Structure 1
Amino acid sequence: MAAARVLLRRGSAAARGLLPTHVPPATAAAPVAARLLQAQAHSSQPDSAAAKPKRTKTFSIYRWNPDQPEKPQLQNYEIDLGECGPMILDALLKIKNEIDPSLTFRRSCREGICGSCAMNIDGDNGLACLTKISAAAAATTITPLPHMYVVKDLVVDMTNFYSQYKSVEPWLKRKDPPPTPGKEIPQSKKDRAKLDGMYECILCACCSTSCPSYWWNPESYLGPAALLHANRWIQDSRDQYTKERLDAVNDEFKLYRCHTIKNCVHACPKGLNPAKQIESIKKLQLQ
Structure 2
Amino acid sequence: MSTQLPDQTEDESSAGEAEPTSAAQERRMAKKRERAAERDEQRQAEEAEAALADEETYHLKVFRYDPEIEGKKEPRFDDFHVPYHKGMTVLDALMYARDTYDSSLTFRHSCRQAVCGSDAMFVNGSQRLCCKTQLSDLDEPVRIEPLPHAEVVKDLVVDMEHFYDQMEAVEPYFQTNDLPDGELEEQRQSRENREKVKMSTRCIWCGACMSSCNIAAGDNEYLGPAAINKAYRFTMDEREGEDMKQQRLEILEQEHGVWRCQTQFSCTDVCPKDIPLTEHIQELKREAVKNNLKFW
Fold match by TM threshold 0.5: yes
Q: Tell me, in whole angstroms, the C-alpha distance in 2 between the residues paired with 1:163 and 1:137.
A: 36
CA displacement, residues 57-78 of structure 1 (integer Å, 9 cap, x when unaligned): 2100010111023301111111
The runs of at least 4 consecutive aligned structure 1 residues that moved more than 4 Å come to none
Conservation of the 8 A alpha-carbon contact between 1:179 and 1:185: no
**Deviations along 1:39-59, whole A, 9 cap, x unmatched?**
xxxxxxxxxxxxx94212210
Q: Deviations over 1:106-141 (max 9, x none)?
A: 001111001010001000101000001036633100
The corresponding residue for 2:280 is 277
* Residue pair 2:87, 2:134 contacting (<8 A) in 1 also: no
- Structure 1 residues 163 and 56 mapped into 2: Cα distance closer, same or farther (>3 Å)? same
The one-letter amino acid paired with 1:196 is K
Structure 1 residues 275 and 135, CA gap change in structure 2 (3 angstroms): closer
What's 1:142 paired with?
144
Query: Does residue 243 in structure 1 map to residue 242 in structure 2?
Result: no
Contact 1:85–1:91 under 8 Å retained in 2: no
Matched, 1:267 2:260: no
Unaligned runs of 5+ in 1: 1-51
Query: Match of 1:21?
Result: none
Structure 2 distance, partners of 1:138, 1:260, is: 32
Q: CA deviation at 1:212?
A: 0.3
- Deviations along 1:202-244, one digit per CA (max 9) or x if unpaired, are 01010111010010012x1000000000011000111102111
Taking the aligned partners of 2:230 and 2:78, their CA distance within structure 1 comes to 37
Counterpart among 104, 108, 111 of residue 110 in structure 2 = 108
Equivalent residues in 2 for 1:1-287, closer than 5 Å: 53-69=54-70, 70-82=73-85, 86-134=88-136, 137-218=139-220, 220-240=221-241, 241-287=244-290
- 2: CA distance between counterparts of 1:184 and 1:146? 43
Q: Distance in 1 between matches of 2:58 and 2:128?
A: 20
Q: TM-score, normalised by structure 1?
A: 0.78
Question: Given the superposition, is the C-alpha separation of residues 143 and 114 from structure 1 closer, same or farther in structure 2, using an over 3 Å criterion?
Answer: same
CA root-mean-square deviation: 1.7
Distance 1:210 1:257, change over 3 A: same
2:251 aligned counterpart, secondary structure: helix
CA–CA distance in structure 2, aligned partners of residues 136 and 103 of structure 1: 21
Q: What CA distance in whole angstroms lies between the structure 2 residues aligned with 1:121 and 1:179? A: 52
Task: Report the CA distance between 1:176 and its aligned residue.
Answer: 2.7
Residue 15 of structure 1 corresponds to which residue in structure 2?
none
Query: What is the rounded CA distance, in whole Å, between the counterparts of 1:230 and 1:175 in structure 2?
Result: 17
The 10-residue stretch of structure 1 (162-171 or 173-182) with the greater mean CA deviation from structure 2? 173-182
Any stretches of 5+ residues in structure 2 without a counterpart? Answer: 1-52, 291-296
Of the structure 1 ranges 251-260 and 162-171, higher mean CA displacement relative to structure 2 is found in 251-260
Please give the alpha-carbon distance, in whole angstroms, between the structure 1 residues aligned to 2:228 and 2:168: 11
In 2, Cα distance between the equivalents of 1:110 and 1:278?
A: 29
**Residue 175 of structure 2: SS of its match in structure 1?**
coil
Q: Larger C-alpha radius of gyration, 1 or 2?
A: 1
Distance 1:282 1:141, change over 3 A: same
Q: Secondary structure in 2 aligned to 1:187?
A: coil
Deviation per residue, 1:4-54 (Å, 9 max, x gap): xxxxxxxxxxxxxxxxxxxxxxxxxxxxxxxxxxxxxxxxxxxxxxxx942
